[in-house]
A and B are shown apart, each in its own frame.
Chain A
């Protein structure tokens, strides 16, 4: 187990190095810092002095990979690569490119809290709702409920989440005045801002998830142990909940686990539509403001979370199924 963890973390670091190199080449070699400066300053006529000033303010005027002017280890450390890329491994994100030069690390810390308030209840409710709906369909298999339930699922997964949001805001906020359209407040009063986005996000994902789970359950229902359970006189709900659900846990965890990084990263679309100041909204602001430092930091953070959640899912497998051994 310990061996396994060490190996996984080692491979994770290797992947992070790859991600890091890739983003650095993309952001600094494919396009030079001069291009970034020109884009950020904007306007038709940008003088070389303005560019130099912009670069020196942000520390992009150093050599990219290797500083010949310095001595000793400073040859490697006094470069853009060291400052901006290697330092990410210490989760030192530096400052943003924009004029106000906010501290990205601090911003991420405060915003992740907000994102979690939206995403944690959403994640739990989503798993419960999808599993419950899928079990309902499986219980009524070969009946009209199953047939129309699947039709409903296919219809729901064919609708873009943007439609759910716009119609939901229109109905619940503008026409019925039940919840505020968008906005944010800390503490307990956040609940009234969170209800609508959670409900709508749940709805937009339900179709695809429930259909997937239904197929998993039906695969299990056809197996021999289910027949044995029925033969010994167990009722259908007991068979479904005690036997089928437990055995389908592993595929369910794989599917639900793919949402795990986004629990921390937040949802781009939902946060920006509802004015929730989480990490998703942060990314959108960075993209519209063309703040590459923030985009780079978020790419790295996303990769870290992805690797971490994969390890967590693997550990969860051993809990769900004792036959799984991590070696």
Chain B
């Protein structure tokens, strides 16, 4: 096996930089008791903890899909030693390599989830006669000799085996939880009992339930997907499950990158406006009022159209189609960032206006600390909770927004898998006869899970970090009087 050539796409670079930043933030949380207490509050919230687990799973898929490489091609026979190795023009990711079987299992057209027969009747030859009937699929259920009788049993046994494997993993997770808690709860079994009775410090029972559900679903899917199309195939015969998994990365890239792109403007300008007041404040306020006064979609559409013209003019900026699509989504995130920083900037400005009058800032000024140092040392750290809350809150909005933008035609490249693209295709498929519902249902399931998890997590973070947000969580019992 020859070494493949690793390719660092724009979005990969930013995603991994963000992972590094998260690790650094994790270290900060570890040494800072205030931050630790706040994050502990988030973890105490069952909904936020479960949502965090689901998000972590999606993040894992994203990161697997963010290590790209180009395979080395075998040298021609008899080529002299020392000829440079050539690389495939196709950029693959680790996820693609893991799911090579699903990419290879390509049918010719639509097929139902878990089907072994084609959706429409085809003309083909059977026993020397030309017949017009439902044909066997090339890959889906191809291992069955007599599908009519074996299919149900085969699917059932695979689901059960996969679920059993999933349960095993979940049991291991439960045991390791209990093992970690054995000191405080008086032994392994007492810890297990306490988890089951929900008497633990963190809502571990809810976390365990979520993990078990995920393990069961993933286990059953893995057991099935080698021989069936779990979510069917689309009109060109591609596996819908694979497309959905690839779309997760697109959604994640948009959700994270676009908010990160707003941060430099929002924080720097917001702090400057609030700290200096006067004409600086006026100018910055004018800038963001001008930006917000244009309806967002129109502004983004105008910018994206210009980027398209720019990319058409400069074909030398990318080598493969994949890199072009990647550059496009990267620029889309930059545009979303450039057009979307006003909300956070306004919040940061307001907070800075308050902070600059407080004693510790006045003291620093009296000691002759420079403006730049006051802003970086004393003000910026104190507006970070706003940054965190806005980032997690806008994540889900951006994922929803991507679908709309792609529908409008200013979103991600059509060659890139995305939820918006899947919905767009599904729209035309829904008017077919027989009804093709599965790619729509898959996009719906994945997208709602992702957005719902992001929303619940964001609510937890906001309740823990925003001192002013009074929690209006619905409770079945009125809160205990204090």
Contact = CB atoms under 8 A, between A and B. Distances in A.
Given A35-B309, A157-B455, A261 B477 contact: no
Contacts of B302: 23, 26-27, 295-296, 299
Nearest to A265: B295
A287 interface: yes
Contact of A160 (B409, B447, B459): B447
Interface in A273-298: 283-284, 287-288, 290, 292, 295-296, 298
A149 interface: yes
A190 interface: no
A306 B423 contact: no
B476 A19 contact: no
Contact of B310 (A31, A292, A296): A31
Nearest to B47: A154
A261 B295 contact: yes
B163 interface: no
A163 B305 contact: no
Interface stretch (A60-68, A115-123, A124-132, A213-221): A213-221
Nearest to A217: B472
A23 B302 CA distance: 8
Interface in A202-251: 214-215, 218-219
Contacts, number: 141
Contact of A158 (B313, B452, B475): B452
A214 B472 CA distance: 9
A215 B404 contact: no
A3 B426 CA distance: 55
B306 interface: yes
Given A15-B293, A166-B423, A299-B299, 12 more contacts: A15-B290, A147-B474, A154-B455, A154-B456, A158-B396, A159-B448, A162-B404, A166-B440, A292-B305, A296-B302, A302-B295, A306-B294
Contact of B470 (A143, A154, A158, A219): A219
Given A158-B451, A215-B472, A287 B408 contact: yes
A310 B378 CA distance: 35
Interface string A142-155: 11101101110011
Given A219-B470, A287-B305, A295-B305, A160 B404 contact: yes
B448 A149 contact: no
A66 to B, nearest CB: 23
11 contacts: A19-B294, A27-B302, A146-B474, A159-B451, A169-B430, A214-B472, A283-B298, A287-B410, A299-B295, A302-B298, A303-B293
B375 interface: no
Contacts of B146: none
Contact of A298 (B298, B431, B475, B477): B298
B53 interface: no
Interface string A22-47: 11001100110001101100000000
B408 A15 contact: no
Contacts of B448: 155, 158-159, 163
Interface in B418-439: 419-420, 423, 426-427, 430-431
Which of A35, A143, A219, A268 has the largest number of chain B CB atoms within 10 A? Answer: A268
B476 A307 contact: no
B361 interface: no
A147 B396 CA distance: 22
Given A269-B407, A284-B409, A296-B302, A31 B309 contact: yes
B444 interface: yes
A19 B423 contact: no
Contacts of A39: 308-309, 312
B452 A303 contact: no
Contact of B294 (A155, A159, A287, A303): A303
A30 B310 contact: yes
Nearest to B479: A142
B455 A144 contact: no
Contacts of A157: 455
Contacts of B420: 162
B400 A18 contact: no
Contacts of A92: none
Nearest to A306: B293
